[in-house]
A and B are shown apart, each in its own frame.
Chain A
């Protein structure tokens, strides 16, 4: 891990010196949220697998309508995200989807693709929700509400809050 550490060290130094200057550009960003749930993976997957079922457990979601593999997610605070399903596997307890139609006024991300994955962990479950995304304004001079920081905050909050909601729903329903 010597080389990795060297590189990370160099990266940290560079970031420390250049951070204020590199807030521009269409650089893809990463989000990764995980949560442990005290229930068998099959139960967690059963609660979460329905592409149109997110309103049952996601605290930020008002309702979801599904048609032909596309879901329209209405947010409680206003706004709609239209996602399309790419893959869903009961065997792997995983599904992947992407943003078809953004709503950057309400959710400052121009595009994302994401995967929701349930795995066995310590006799219970670990749910992992990851995504790759771009900020709302991919030009070089985004406003504060449409920059990388705003996009990262929105994605982090949406996935984290969702997983906490799912945990509460599954563990509370035992």
Chain B
């Protein structure tokens, strides 16, 4: 499903409508949609996608080789890792137009920000988690992890950081208060991505080589289940209501929907080639999956599994983050 002339025409029409909406002050403002920010590792850019129209509305230039992107909990900052350049970009300000570049050591990869203003970054080559002040990039701590830490997650209310150790076959559990390792929990083979339930009580770890999803309790750290997925699961996200885990199977070119009640794959659909990162909108209406090889993004309805559209982003698209729409200012005329 490549973009067609019809879709492009619809997109242009959408742009025109936006323009009209902006100038028609007397009309109630059209509800703004969340924006999707996509790193393009080859191009050194971030594509901005309006999730209302699913069209690219802007492209931001950043430092070379942007890999993982994550939003701050308040949605006011975006953080991007540049493993090859040993840098972190912080995008902030009006329309994220201001870029601050921080030098770090090693190969920064996975990145996550917490409400207390901390920024956590995995270091793929030095096997540790770096803790920074998100406002200043001042280093607060370096915490040892397992081998080749990849993605990480800070589940809500858990008070813990979880790091997937790609070559360590484990998850490092870190106390966010003391900044110390609590445990290293064995999972499947080659865990790369992980996601937490909205309540923060469960962790879903995608194991690339064993082709499964380890489900852990974030408090007791016991393994609740291992769910077989497609081949090489490289991305996972949980729907906002917590009912489904959405897993991108890179080698199979498919997406699995895991029912989190029964912990089984209840639906599998084909997407593009080498699907990787997954993000879901705050209202749960759409899931976005980057097809790395195809250079596009599949937009899925998480309820039905239907592919709604596909967005062309080009080679090297790697990671994505959602920024919820700002609250509409109160209308002055109505």
Contact = CB atoms under 8 A, between A and B. Distances in A.
B92 interface: no
A10 B84 contact: no
A11 B55 contact: no
Given A22-B64, A87-B231, A132-B274, A7 B43 contact: yes
B250 interface: yes
Contact of B232 (A1, A6, A25, A113): A113
B84 A86 contact: no
Interface residues of A, number: 31
A15 interface: yes
A26 interface: yes
Given A28-B292, A87-B251, A11 B83 contact: no
Contacts of A10: 43, 45, 59, 61
B314 interface: yes
Contacts of A28: 292
Contact of B84 (A27, A96, A113): A27
A27 B41 contact: yes
Contacts of B316: 27
B42 interface: yes
Contact of B86 (A2, A113, A115, A140): A140
A139 B314 CA distance: 26
A26 B293 contact: no
Interface string A1-31: 1111011101100110010011011111010
Contacts of A140: 83-84, 86, 107, 125
A98 interface: yes
A87 B293 CA distance: 18
B312 A11 contact: no
Contacts of B42: 11, 15, 27
Nearest to B5: A1
Contact of A11 (B124, B292, B314): B314
Contacts, number: 100
A14 B44 contact: yes
B40 interface: yes
B45 A11 contact: yes
A155 to B, nearest CB: 13
Given A18-B44, A26-B124, A132-B274, A7 B314 contact: yes
A98 B41 contact: no
Given A86-B232, A86-B251, A87-B252, A24 B314 contact: no
A87 B249 CA distance: 13
A24 B86 CA distance: 10
Most buried by A among B45, B55, B250, B274: B274
A47 interface: no
B180 interface: no
B83 A26 contact: yes
Contact of B59 (A1, A7, A86): A7
B56 interface: yes
B251 A113 contact: yes
A141 to B, nearest CB: 10
B44 A4 contact: no
A96 B251 contact: yes
A27 B312 CA distance: 20
A75 interface: no
A30 B61 contact: no
Given A27-B65, A113-B251, A4 B312 contact: yes
Contacts of B64: 14, 18, 21-22
A130 interface: yes
B89 interface: no
16 contacts: A7-B45, A8-B314, A10-B45, A11-B43, A22-B64, A22-B84, A22-B85, A26-B83, A27-B83, A27-B84, A27-B316, A28-B292, A86-B232, A87-B252, A113-B232, A140-B125
Given A22-B85, A24-B65, A132-B274, 9 more contacts: A7-B59, A7-B313, A14-B64, A26-B109, A27-B41, A28-B292, A30-B315, A87-B251, A130-B273
